[in-house]
Amino acid sequence: MRNSGFDGVDINFGCPQDKEIGQKTCAALILEPERAKEIIAATKKGAGGLPVSVKTRLGYSKIEEMNAWLRHLLLAEPAAIALHARTKQEKSKVPAHWGAIAQAVKIRNQIQSNVIARSVSDEAISNKEKIASPSARNGRTLIIGNGDIKSREEGLSRVKETGCDGIMVGRGAFGSPWFFRKDNFEPTIKERLSVMLEHARLYTQEFEGKKSFAIIRKHFKAYANGFDGASELRAELMTTIGVGEVENIVNKFLKTIQ
């Protein structure tokens, strides 16, 4: 696997969609923690030394389920756990529970500090083989917080507030590829739509004949947002079936605001 060019393997225990739940995959594994641990162990064994991470949620239906679920995952010692701060049942319908991320960090620190202490003690007593775990070798499992991050500054604030090791951004970066810039860059309407066009061209270049153009249209809704005339522009963009139409619609709109 190392020769394939990957940097790691990420296991999805977080997707809340009914189809995946019906197949007992993704967030359904929250209800089967022993099986989840077996999956992590098997993935680590087959990953050829690459780091194995997990993306998941606080619980299946209750936030309180996080304590037991997270402890199971930490005992499997993945390199990182990206924790979406909602339950499976909540999907994205409620604000993210960032207090739970802070609690997750405390649980991680408690469990893996104990593991490190035991491994150091064992080494001092005898010359037995060291515990082969990322916590003993390279530090603790990283806790990555996820949910409702709307700006780079907010992400940095959440890291400081919760003690997590980093932030995962999803929807916050839709229509905003400059999200991670340090200079608080605010694009003009022309710059925003020019990037949208570039996105559409690159998508077409990569996926024409392989994937439907409808997939890229959901991104148009994010780019064409927050300015006068955006609603009407979105309505037109959502009827397009190719990048040529998108370009014509955008050029026509830009002439109306010059």
Which one-letter DSSP state was computed for residue 61? Answer: S
Give the three-state DSSP class for 208. Answer: coil
Tell me what pLDDT residue 131 has: 31
Rounded Cα–Cα distance for residues 242 and 201 (Å): 9
Determine the Cα–Cα distance for residues 167 and 165; give it in Å rounded to an integer.
7
Kindly give the parts of the chain with pLDDT less than 70.
Answer: 1-3, 114-139
Identified catalytic residue from 15, 52, 111, 143: 15
Q: How far apart are alpha carbons 58 and 14 in whole angstroms?
A: 9
Half-sphere exposure of 133 (CA within 13 A, CB side): 21
**What are the two backbone dihedrals, phi and then psi, of residue 180, each rounded to the nearest 5 degrees?**
-95, 5
Residue 81: what pLDDT?
Answer: 98
| Per-residue confidence (pLDDT) for residue 139, from 0 to 100 | 66
Catalytic residue list contains 26: no
Q: What is the pLDDT of residue 1?
A: 57
